[in-house]
Every structure is written in C-alpha cells, then in structure tokens.
C-alpha cells in the first residue's frame, strides 16, 4: 500500500522541479541602431524587442520628447543586460530584462559633454563604447566602467 503512494510522490516531485539551461550566452554580436518614432518607441523586429523610451528621455534630458527622432544604439551583453546610448547622451544606460519590462540597473557616466557618434561593440565579457568625444574606447560592465585592466 505504501509503494503506490511513494511512487506517486516521487513522480509528482519530479514534475515540479525547475528545468534550468546553463551557460547561456545572450549577447548580440552587433549593436542595433534604431530611430525613436514620434511616440517615443523603438522597434527591432530582428531581435524581437519594442520599447518606449519616454522615461529614458526624461532621465537623460529632463524632457519626455527629446529622444524622438534620435538614433538609439542598443546591444545586449553576454549576461543578458541591455545597454542603451545615443548622440548627446552623457551616459550609457544598462537595463535588466524582466517580464514585459526593462529595469534600470545602472546609468554609467561616460561623457560629461555628451557623446557625438557612439558605437557599442561586443568584447566578451564586456561591452566596448567608442566615440570621438572619448580619448580611448571604454569597456563597460553592467555595473560601470571596467577599471584596473588594460583598456
């Protein structure tokens, strides 16, 4: 009598375990450069992402409409973080993906006078930022600028 109950318990618990796929590499090999529409939205059908950047515009420029018409540079890191920047931005914004949302993880100050022609590149495990406003390329992590390592 105990055997059926024990077997039922084992099968039930096995069905409840969480499947985890490990060693996933989320990075995109090339940045996406997307134009913000009149509603403040970017869309990248190739990568399956649509986002409204009005709140990002407020954060960077204290104005909800400044990013309209801008070309936003976006890339996804090895760990799955999204990096956003654009010309005139002083920062690179790093977001954590969630269920139907991106949550700000860090805003990394990179150019006090604003970027001119930014480009984001994969340099696993880092993201590299290149811009004429910078003396040298900057290597970024999800928490900030990589320091103490040869740039």
- Strands 101-109 and 91-98 turn out to be antiparallel
Report the share of the chain in percent with pLDDT over 90: 77
pLDDT of residue 131: 98
Residue 10 has pLDDT above 70, yes or no: no
Model confidence at 76: pLDDT above 90: yes
Answer for the pair 120, 101: CB distance below 8 angstroms, yes or no.
no
Find tokens 């003396």 and name the residue.
135
Place of tokens 């997307």: 34
Check: CB of residue 40 under 8 Å from CB of residue 54: yes
Q: What is the average per-residue pLDDT within 120-132?
A: 94
> Which tokens belong to 135?
């003396």
Written as six digits, the tokens of 57 are: 């515009």
Q: Residue 151's pLDDT is what?
A: 45
Q: State yes or no: pLDDT of 89 exceeds 70.
A: yes
Q: Is the pLDDT of residue 60 over 70?
A: yes
- Output 124 or 57, whichever has higher pLDDT: 57
Which pTM does this prediction carry? 0.85
Q: What is the band of 143 on the pLDDT scale with cuts at 50, 70, 90?
A: very high
Average of per-residue pLDDT across 42-51: 95
Region 79-88 average pLDDT = 96
Reported confidence tier of residue 2, pLDDT bands at 50, 70, 90: low
Average pLDDT, the chain: 90
Percent of the chain residues past pLDDT 70, beyond the cut: 87
In this prediction, residue 28 carries a pLDDT of: 84
């Amino acid at each position: 009598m105990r055997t059926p109950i024990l077997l039922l318990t084992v099968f039930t618990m096995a069905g409840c375990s969480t499947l985890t796929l490990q060693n996933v590499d989320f990075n995109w090999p090339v940045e996406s450069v997307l134009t913000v529409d009149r509603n403040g939205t970017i869309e990248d059908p190739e990568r399956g992402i649509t986002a409204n950047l009005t709140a990002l515009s407020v954060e960077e420029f204290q104005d909800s409409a400044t990013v309209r018409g801008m070309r936003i540079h976006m890339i996804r890191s090895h760990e799955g973080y999204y990096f956003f920047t654009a010309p005139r931005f002083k920062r690179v914004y790093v977001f954590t993906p969630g269920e139907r949302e991106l949550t700000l993880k860090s805003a990394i100050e990179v150019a006090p006078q604003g970027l001119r022609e930014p480009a984001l590149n994969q340099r696993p495990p880092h993201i590299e930022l290149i811009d004429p406003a910078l003396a040298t390329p900057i290597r970024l992590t999800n928490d900030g600028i990589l320091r103490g390592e040869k740039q």
